[in-house]
């Protein structure tokens, strides 16, 4: 650690964004004796409730952003859609970690896919689409089924439409209202996996074991670790994440979502998406690993050494979406169920309200009492 790049306990971590990720980051920072200052426009941001200070201001309020940056020792973010101008203003007044390039690369699906493909890492076939004519052309190249997605601001399945053989192309194009898009070939994947990993200021790298994810209605439902893939596949996945982190000169925790394809006897990986932040598929690390992804991100952005990513057993994380959170009282009665609630006021459909993690011994057989 060098004094120019590292923050001492007692210092203040600034966080852009006040959702559950910012909240869990703030809790981890507090355990290390740091103060946090949350910047978010929503007055009901759940992270405000656990921070020493908050600024409830829009992301384009230049004066507020400068005051915020000057009040903290380092700034990080909990979401990738931080506007470019916001990141520039912050970076001019405080260290921004991860850097603005990581944001710019990952908040545009076309830029992101081009970056990944440029590293020689497999992706689904893709093409940029700016008009209905582009879309027609791209569909001839890529074939159907394919997925048309807005280049920016998509998450949890928002801003995308599936194009089947029978889909009317003009209709599909109109659905996304003329926003700049990317067309991605549909890949018949067997499973979705993700690597959650961290890179330090000194270039050190530490990945958690590969996560196997399931989704419902395009929202992460469960994560299970270990993922149960071939050792060679797991090593390859971790190497891909490291290559991406290094190419971005990344500092902090990132997640790389991948599709696992089965080709004959072998497993193949293609990269679907990069999240330049702590990630829902890493929530199991709170109880399931020596260092949680939130503590790890704090260590990285403070310029501290990365912690151990060693697992403490087999982990299963389940999201509590919308009214699933109403089961909190039963979950509290289940020994070994670790309940986390995010302090959100209303349980709207599709809203992530909390999660529950269960850890079982490494060598337990299915059905064995633990």
* Cα gap 11→74, rounded to integer Å: 9
In the complex, the smallest distance separating the C-beta of residue 63 from a second copy, rounded to whole angstroms, is 25
Binding site for a second copy (CB under 8 A): 1, 9-10, 23, 26-27, 30-36, 48-52, 290, 299, 304-305, 307-308, 310, 312, 325, 328-329, 332-333, 335-336, 339-345, 354
In the complex, the smallest distance separating the C-beta of residue 274 from a second copy, rounded to whole angstroms, is 27
Which two three-digit tokens encode residue 189? 């994947």
- Cβ closer to a second copy: 16 or 50? 50
- Cβ closer to a second copy: 205 or 328? 328
Give the full edge-to-edge strand order of the sheet including 181-185.
126-129, 181-185, 146-150, 160-163
- Cβ closer to a second copy: 1 or 247? 1
Q: Which residues contact 36 (CB under 8 A, 6 or more apart)?
A: 12, 13, 14, 15, 25, 26, 29, 30, 47, 50, 51, 52, 53
Q: Which residues contact 259 (CB under 8 A, 6 or more apart)?
A: 124, 187, 189, 191, 192, 193, 269, 270, 272
The angle, 0 to 180 degrees and rounded to 10, between the axes of the packed helices 84-91 and 62-70 is 40
In the complex, the smallest distance separating the C-beta of residue 18 from a second copy, rounded to whole angstroms, is 13
* Cα gap 353→350, rounded to integer Å: 9
- Cβ closer to a second copy: 166 or 329? 329
In the complex, the smallest distance separating the C-beta of residue 40 from a second copy, rounded to whole angstroms, is 15
105 prior amide bond cis, ω within 30: no
In the complex, the smallest distance separating the C-beta of residue 252 from a second copy, rounded to whole angstroms, is 16
DSSP 127-192: EEE-SHHHHHHHHHHH-SSEEEEESBS--TTTTEEEE-TT--HHHHHHHTTT--EEEEE----SEE
Strand, coil or helix: what is 322?
Answer: helix
- Cβ closer to a second copy: 71 or 114? 71
In the complex, the smallest distance separating the C-beta of residue 143 from a second copy, rounded to whole angstroms, is 46
- Cβ closer to a second copy: 33 or 130? 33
Q: Please name the residue that has the structure tokens 């991605």.
A: 184
The angle, 0 to 180 degrees and rounded to 10, between the axes of the packed helices 293-301 and 20-31 is 70
- Cβ closer to a second copy: 179 or 341? 341
In the complex, the smallest distance separating the C-beta of residue 184 from a second copy, rounded to whole angstroms, is 37
In the complex, the smallest distance separating the C-beta of residue 61 from a second copy, rounded to whole angstroms, is 23
In the complex, the smallest distance separating the C-beta of residue 280 from a second copy, rounded to whole angstroms, is 16
- Cβ closer to a second copy: 161 or 337? 337
- Cβ closer to a second copy: 51 or 102? 51
Residues facing residue 254 across a β-bridge = 197
Q: Please name the residue that has the structure tokens 């005051």.
A: 67
């Amino acid at each position: 650690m060098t004094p120019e790049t590292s923050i001492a306990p007692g210092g203040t971590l600034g966080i852009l964004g006040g959702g559950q990720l910012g909240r869990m980051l703030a809790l981890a920072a507090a355990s290390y004796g740091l103060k946090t200052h949350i910047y978010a426009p929503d007055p009901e941001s759940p992270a405000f409730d656990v921070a020493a200070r908050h600024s409830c201001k829009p992301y384009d309020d230049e004066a507020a952003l400068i005051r915020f940056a000057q009040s903290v020792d380092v700034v990080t973010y909990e979401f990738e859609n931080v506007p470019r101008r916001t990141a520039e203003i912050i970076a001019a007044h405080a260290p921004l970690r991860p850097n603005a390039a990581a944001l710019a690369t990952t908040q545009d699906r076309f830029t992101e896919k081009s970056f990944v493909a440029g590293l020689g890492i497999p992706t689904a076939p893709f093409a940029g689409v700016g008009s209905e004519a582009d879309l027609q052309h791209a569909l001839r190249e890529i074939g159907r089924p394919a997925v048309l997605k807005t280049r920016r601001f998509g998450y949890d399945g928002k801003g995308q439409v599936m194009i089947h053989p029978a889909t009317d192309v003009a209709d599909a194009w109109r659905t996304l209202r003329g926003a700049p898009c990317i067309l991605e070939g549909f890949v018949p994947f067997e499973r979705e996996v993700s690597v959650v990993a961290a890179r330090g200021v000194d270039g050190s790298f530490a990945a958690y074991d590969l996560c196997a994810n399931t989704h419902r209605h395009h929202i992460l439902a469960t994560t299970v670790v270990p993922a149960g893939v071939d050792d060679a596949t797991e090593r390859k996945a971790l190497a891909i994440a490291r290559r991406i982190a290094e190419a971005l000169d990344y500092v902090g925790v990132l997640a790389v979502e991948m599709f696992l394809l089965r080709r004959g006897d072998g497993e193949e990986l293609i990269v679907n998406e990069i999240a330049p932040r702590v990630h829902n598929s890493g929530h199991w690390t709170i109880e399931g690993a020596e260092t949680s992804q939130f503590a790890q991100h704090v260590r990285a952005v403070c310029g501290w050494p990365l912690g151990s990513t060693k697992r403490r057993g087999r982990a299963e994380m389940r999201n509590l979406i919308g009214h699933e959170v109403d089961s909190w009282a039963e979950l509290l009665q289940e020994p070994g169920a670790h309940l986390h609630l995010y302090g959100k006021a209303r349980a709207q459909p599709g809203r992530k309200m909390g999660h529950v993690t269960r850890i079982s011994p490494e060598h337990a057989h299915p059905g064995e009492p633990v």
